[in-house]
Amino acid sequence: MKVAIVDDELDMRKSISQWLSLSGFETETFESARAALAKVGPGYPGVVLSDIRMPEIDGMMFLKRLMHHDSALPVILITGHGDVPMAVEAMRIGAFDFLEKPFDPDRMTEIVQKACNVRETALKNRAIRSELSGGTAAVSNLVGASAAMQALRDEILDVGQADGHVLIEGETGTGKSLVARALHAVGARASRPLVQVFCGQHDEDSLMARLFGGADGLAVDNPPAMQEARGGTLLLEDIQLMPAAVQTRLGAYISDPAQEAMPRILSVCGQTVDGAPCDQALTADLFHRLAGLKLTLPALRNRGDDILMLFAEFSKSFGEEYGTEAPQLTAQEAAQFLQAPWPGNVRQLMNVAERAVLQARRGGGSITSLLISDNEAVAVPLTQEGKPLKKHVEAFERMLIDNTLRRHNGAVAKVMDELCLPRRTLNEKMAKYGLVRSDYT
């Protein structure tokens, strides 16, 4: 962690830098806030120690600009005796702490060390969040730029780093198993085993044996899952189908203080036969033990433009698999995709994308017909209502630019020619829709 020292007085900069260097910190000094702003930006690997009274850009304005670029950056302000009210206001804005002149050097070292510890933790968390958002971790299939998906990725990080049992709920096809694996991947138990048990594939006796072992303490074909997952993670799929006797045994096992290296239990709760919620499918005791932490996954129909983004991803992947060009949605088809009920969620969308690719390979056809066929079972008609025209236009525009960038591997000049857009307009629209050229090269 670095310490950026900002003060217009040379002697003060030198003395602070010398003291902190002797205390083991790496320092860099700046004579003005403007000079510091050219170097200290988002993701700066350290903290800022700044005087509050400086010419041109004072400490308060400097703080506001730093908070605008990176609100998690610790900023410590140095104040004069009469500036304490100003320093209190700075704390409200987001300053980490302040030092009143003349200050105790040891006190300064203590505050800087605390700020560096906070900054290091924040940057580590940000790196993990970036990995999740970039799709390079176990959640690579959790694609989406909607607010719902961004919130879900943040929740995966936060819940993953906790250690309590987790209940994962959501409609069929929303990616509950993917989320469970992501929770394991970002947690402290990532290097330990992840054992998956499908509760719906066993009757009462075989599930009891699979989890806890047979009469001799071992299951017939495998070691008991509880033993296999010791110190790691146990993923229970379709927990709502677990027989009552097994639920009772599981609740007793979890509450037994004699059990060592208890696995973390991630429970995936799907739809029950009678449509009852998970808290009614499980005994009250087991539900509250397994649902200390809970994630509810968003339905695809509530994820907005993610629908078009996912269709493009799936179509491209299936197109490569089947050796054909991925089909492109028309404006009308895009509008209908955004308004469809998607009862099968992401799994249904993937199936539609695969059938669309196969249809295109045979010579084309109506993608809308595939979608209507999929939704006839739930008797929910597709309509052209319910969303402002501007939203339809923006969604289609984003999809069109995205598809064209993919087809030309990020070659902006070719995209400009095909879409008849000047460079400035294309750049503005790419920035508006969060499209980055490097993602396509």
Per the structure block, which two tokens stand in for 301? 């129909």
**Per-residue pLDDT tens for 162-219?**
889 999 999 999 999 989 988 888 888 888 899 999 999 999 999 999 999 875 444 4
Q: How far apart are CA 169 and CA 151, in angstroms?
A: 15
Residues 122 and 169 in one domain: no
Q: What is the pLDDT of residue 374?
A: 62
Domain for residue 379, yes or no? yes
Q: What is the pLDDT of residue 270?
A: 82
Closest-CA residue to 373 (of 355, 347, 361, 358): 355
List the single range of 65-69, 240-244, 378-382, 413-417 with lowest mean pLDDT: 378-382
Q: What is the pLDDT of residue 288?
A: 92
Q: Point out the domain boundary residue: 283, 298, 313.
A: 298
- Using the predicted structure, report yes or no on whether residue 378 has a pLDDT greater than 50: no
Domain for residue 136, yes or no? no
Q: What percent of the chain has pLDDT over 70?
A: 88
Per the structure block, which two tokens stand in for 109? 């070292």
**pLDDT bracket for residue 384 (50, 70, 90):** very low
Domain for residue 131, yes or no? no
Q: How far apart are CA 185 and CA 189, in angstroms?
A: 8
Q: Point out the domain boundary residue: 298, 322, 356.
A: 298
Task: Read off the pLDDT of each residue in 227-244 and give the average, rounded to a whole number.
Answer: 93
Residues 151 and 30 in one domain: no
Residues 233 and 183 in one domain: yes
Task: Read off the pLDDT of each residue in 139-158 and give the average, rounded to a whole number.
Answer: 81
Closest-CA residue to 309 (of 396, 228, 373, 410): 396
**In 3-state terms, what secondary structure has residue 46?**
strand
Full residue range of the structural domain in which residue 398 is found: 302-439
Domain for residue 138, yes or no? no
Residues 381 and 269 in one domain: no
Domain for residue 133, yes or no? no
pTM: 0.62
The secondary element (H helix, E strand) that includes residue 29 is strand 26-30
Q: How many CB atoms neighbour CB 289 within 10 A?
A: 20
Residues 313 and 282 in one domain: no
Q: How far apart are CA 213 and CA 251, in angstroms?
A: 16
Closest-CA residue to 297 (of 270, 264, 265): 270
Q: How far apart are CA 52 and CA 49, in angstroms?
A: 10
- Using the predicted structure, report yes or no on whether residue 44 has a pLDDT greater than 80: yes
Residue 94, burial from CB neighbour count under 10 angstroms (0-12, 13-18, 19+): middle
**In 3-state terms, what secondary structure has residue 323?**
coil
Q: What is the pLDDT of residue 274?
A: 53
Residue 429, burial from CB neighbour count under 10 angstroms (0-12, 13-18, 19+): middle
Mean per-residue pLDDT over the chain, rounded: 84
Q: Point out the domain boundary residue: 258, 274, 298.
A: 298
**Per-residue pLDDT tens for 94-140?**
899 989 888 899 999 999 999 999 998 888 777 766 655 444 445 55
Domain for residue 141, yes or no? no
Beta carbons of 186 and 129 less than 8 angstroms apart: no
Report the CATH number that the domain containing residue 181 is assigned in CATH: 3.40.50.300
Residues 17 and 42 in one domain: yes
Domain for residue 363, yes or no? yes
Per the structure block, which two tokens stand in for 79? 């104040």
Residues 179 and 287 in one domain: yes
Query: In the block, which residue shows the tokens 């992501």?
Result: 182
Count: domains in the chain? 3
Q: How far apart are CA 175 and CA 358, in angstroms?
A: 24
Per the structure block, which two tokens stand in for 211? 């989890």
Task: Read off the pLDDT of each residue in 27-43 and give the average, rounded to a whole number.
Answer: 92
Q: What percent of the chain has pLDDT over 90?
A: 41
Q: In sequence order, which residues have a C-beta less than 8 Å from that of residue 283 and are 6 or more positions away? A: 244, 247, 248, 251
Residues 165 and 200 in one domain: yes
Residues 172 and 58 in one domain: no
Q: What is the pLDDT of residue 191?
A: 81
Task: Read off the pLDDT of each residue in 370-399 and give the average, rounded to a whole number.
Answer: 60
Q: How far apart are CA 184 and CA 190, in angstroms?
A: 5
Q: What is the pLDDT of residue 215?
A: 58
Q: What is the pLDDT of residue 166?
A: 96
**pLDDT bracket for residue 286 (50, 70, 90):** very high
Q: What is the pLDDT of residue 124?
A: 79
Handedness of CA 350, 375, 151, 434 (dihedral sign): positive
- Using the predicted structure, report yes or no on whether residue 224 has a pLDDT greater than 60: yes
Residues 312 and 293 in one domain: no
**Per-residue pLDDT tens for 402-439?**
878 877 888 888 888 888 888 888 888 888 888 888 87
Which strands form 75-79's sheet, in the order they lie side by side?
Answer: 26-30, 2-6, 46-51, 75-79, 97-100
Domain for residue 429, yes or no? yes
Report the CATH number that the domain containing residue 85 is assigned in CATH: 3.40.50.2300
ω before 341 within 30° of 0 (cis)?
no
Output the 3-class SS for 201-262. Answer: HCCHHHHHHHHHCCCCCCCCCCCCHHHHCCCCEEEEECHHHCCHHHHHHHHHHHHCCCCCCC
Task: Read off the pLDDT of each residue in 349-368 and give the average, rounded to a whole number.
Answer: 86
Residues 355 and 407 in one domain: yes
Residues 117 and 156 in one domain: no
Pairing of strands 46-51, 194-198: unpaired
**pLDDT bracket for residue 41 (50, 70, 90):** confident
Q: What is the pLDDT of residue 276?
A: 59
Instruction: Identify the residue with better confidence: 206 or 279.
Output: 206
Q: What is the pLDDT of residue 237?
A: 95
Beta carbons of 75 and 44 less than 8 angstroms apart: no
